[in-house]
Amino acid sequence: MTAQQSVISCKSVWKLFGPSPEHYFSTLHGAPSFESIRDAGYIAAVRDVTLDIARGEMLVIMGLSGSGKSTLVRCLSRLIEITGGEIHVDGQDIGTLSERELIDLRRNKMGMVFQSFGLLPHRTVLDNVAFPLEMRGQDRHERRARAMEVIELVGLAGRENYFPRELSGGQQQRVGIARSLAIEPDIWFLDEPFSALDPLIRREMQDEFLRLQQMLSKTIVFITHDFNEALRLADRIAIMKDGAVEQCARPDEIVMNPATEYVAKFTHEIDKARVVRAQALMQPLNGTAPEGGTIGGDQTLHELARQIINDPRDSYPVSGSDGKLLGVLPRKAALDVLLGGHA
């Protein structure tokens, strides 16, 4: 993926906290460790991150508390200034934008949802959702009409005149999501938006979120500390530790081939068969395709388990969503994952 293809492109981004961080940063050479920077009296909240995010992609950033994931997202939207490196949004270096240009960028291209819902308690659902449009100076009739559209989109029609205190936690979160969608952002930043919800509501909100993404195809940066949530939502996952990205890859690549011991700890308890898709184990087609029916490259091995166990062929032709043949899935490789034989 090149920067030209990316909606967001980071190149060697650093964010240091401490006395005169820019001066200290200018003295750094090579790849200093988190510990050596800390010993010098600084915190490397973001450490030499290079990352590209494609249009319509959902990138999930995860890591333990203090790993730098929230700081990185605030750098991407320039809510905080970076110490070094460059961040481009649609090819534009956001570090060069004036305050007015930056405000326009956030108002017109970026939506943000944080763990704390931040709803205005004295305003109704409708007025909360319409608030960013009011700040933009949009006509009252137009902004209320747009607010009603997104209220219906997130499943809150009929509750537009409720106040936040009259809503459940899940419903309040839907208001926050609707408010961020009201401006029709191209880029959507979500910082642990479901972490305050109980497990059942959280699962429902994940379902709702996936439905919205299927409809809207936003470019999304989603923060979570829940690996199962990341696996469910992500096109790619970036795992952070001590301000640096340890690995950024598709969920099945991370599960099958963790790049570091730290990443492997995240994947240790995961049922690989529920994550790994046929296409991840696929091999090129050499010669004639095996006879018999094909399997979908996007299907997980868990979904294919019964078919694989009952079908004794050595390999299975794999097709894409358009029906074209992509390659073959060796039965042994699939059984190794299903039965736990894959290391």
Which CATH number does the domain 273-338 belong to among 2.40.50.140, 3.40.50.12280, 3.10.580.10, 1.20.58.220?
Answer: 3.10.580.10
Instruction: Fill in the amino acid letter for 192.
Output: E
Q: Show pLDDT as tens, one digit a residue, over the chain (343 residues).
A: 444 478 999 999 999 999 999 999 999 988 899 999 999 999 999 999 999 999 999 999 999 889 999 999 999 999 999 999 999 999 999 999 999 999 889 888 888 887 666 789 999 999 999 998 888 888 999 999 999 998 988 889 999 999 999 998 888 888 988 888 888 889 999 998 887 777 877 888 888 888 888 888 889 999 998 888 999 999 999 999 999 999 999 999 999 999 999 999 888 888 889 899 999 999 998 777 778 888 999 999 999 999 999 999 999 999 998 888 999 999 999 999 998 754 4
C-alpha separations of 7 from 3, 61, 74, 209, 245 in Å: 8, 16, 16, 21, 19
Query: So where are the chain's domains?
Result: 3-270, 273-338
Same fold, 3-270 and 273-338: no
| Contact criterion met (CB below 8 Å) for 315 and 291 | no
Which top CATH class is 3-270? alpha beta
